[in-house]
Structure 1
């Protein structure tokens, strides 16, 4: 079972070496890390190229320059593995992450796996805050996740059979992770692992935030999502036909 790691990269030089080391130590010789680079104006481009030169499992691809959702989609489209892991550029994978997630995929009905995360500070030190599952009340269910999303991308992995369903991601989808998680629910089961398998790093440059937007924004967001679900159902029916 070949693993692909899809990483969206943008000016991540501060933490990328620690994150990449935590990933590569768990991968096999035939696995791959696809790094879609939307920008490296922080001077990190030579570092990325050097890492790819040293380890042939790292593949650097040019990002579309249209934001995090399109950048992740671009990385996913370049993946060749049976299982695609999503990864941020600044977290830290726990040493048993791949082992635990891969085992969950031994059930053929499982189309995606979501695991818990430990909140850490910019130095990678646990903050003592509640885990991500506790904060979000994470569990399966299309309606539940429409109201409060459990699907945090950096904690997700999914089967390659979902790629023709999730790509292209509609413009109205604000984040890729809810879209992928919901597609997995339509196709089969999502396995939730209660164990924290990454250090979820929070710092001043995070793209995603722990807080919500305004009430007006949240209502519009959910209306847009509901409209997109019709398209998702059509894609699922087409693949299953």
Structure 2
């Protein structure tokens, strides 16, 4: 039997782009797959944009309204698939994304896949052809503890990762680095150097490409190390 795919999309005030994102995802999913949209309370028409897409594979959940980490966690806890893809609300998936990532996840020793993406502006004009090259992405646990290369929209993983990663620790800076570091300690992480989505950058992104201040970054890494030790991963 084919493995089931869950896509977890954490949304908040995303009416401008969420429809085009969902319409780039659904054609790549099979009948048994699901797209979980966990929607935090907001001020725009994101909910109606989702409800106007009539597809039984979409599961619209009420988000906890406690920020992006808790919203992502809400979606992950509700996912029923064997493989889980994370999605932003404002990107566009390339048509071959799910197929190419599943080719890697179906390898018996692969726990998580991180693929490359294009950086684009609001109108999908290319800013950078490769996030990996722009960011200087490096493999391995230590490299990504020091300088994170994991971005959720480019990640998919075996649901077994959730046994070690959930619940998210308190004081966690971002979910994607945590999931990536746990995967590095628990199994094989595949870095796929092929851009498989357009990573849209605009004024209202929930995530940022900018680094925090040095003291904040040091504090975040102390929290991460402490949490990894508590999970007996260090």
- 1:66-215 matched pairs, under 5 angstroms: 66-127=66-127, 129=128, 131-215=130-214
Q: List alignment gaps of at least 5 residues for structure 1.
A: 237-241
Q: Secondary structure at the match of 2:150?
A: coil
In the alignment, structure 2 segments of 5+ residues that lack a partner are none
CA contact (8 A) 2:6 2:85 kept: yes
Equivalent runs, 1:26-105 vs 2, <5 Å: 26-51=28-53, 54-105=54-105
Measure how far apart 1:213 and its partner are.
1.2
Question: What secondary structure sits across from 1:169 in the alignment?
Answer: coil
Distance 2:212 2:178 in 1: 19
For residues 46 and 80 of structure 2, what CA distance do their matches in structure 1 show? 26
Aligned CA-pair RMSD: 1.3
| Structure 2 counterpart SS, 1:39 | coil
Q: Aligned residue for 1:239?
A: none
Structure 1, residues 24-49: CA drift from partner, whole Å, max 9, x if none? 01000110000111124112222222
Q: In the TM superposition, what whole-angstrom CA distance separates every residue of 1:174-231 from its partner, at most 9, and x where no partner exists?
A: 1001111112112210001000000000000011111111111111111111111102
Distance 1:214 1:196 in 2: 29
- The farther-off stretch of 217-226 and 27-36 is 217-226
CA apart distance, 1:130:
5.0
Contact 2:40 2:64 in 1 (8 A): yes
Per the normalisation by structure 2, the TM-score is: 0.95
CA contact (8 A) 2:33 2:57 kept: yes
Q: Is the 8 A contact 2:12 2:46 kept in 1?
A: no
Residues matched between the structures, number: 232
Corresponding residue for 2:20? 18
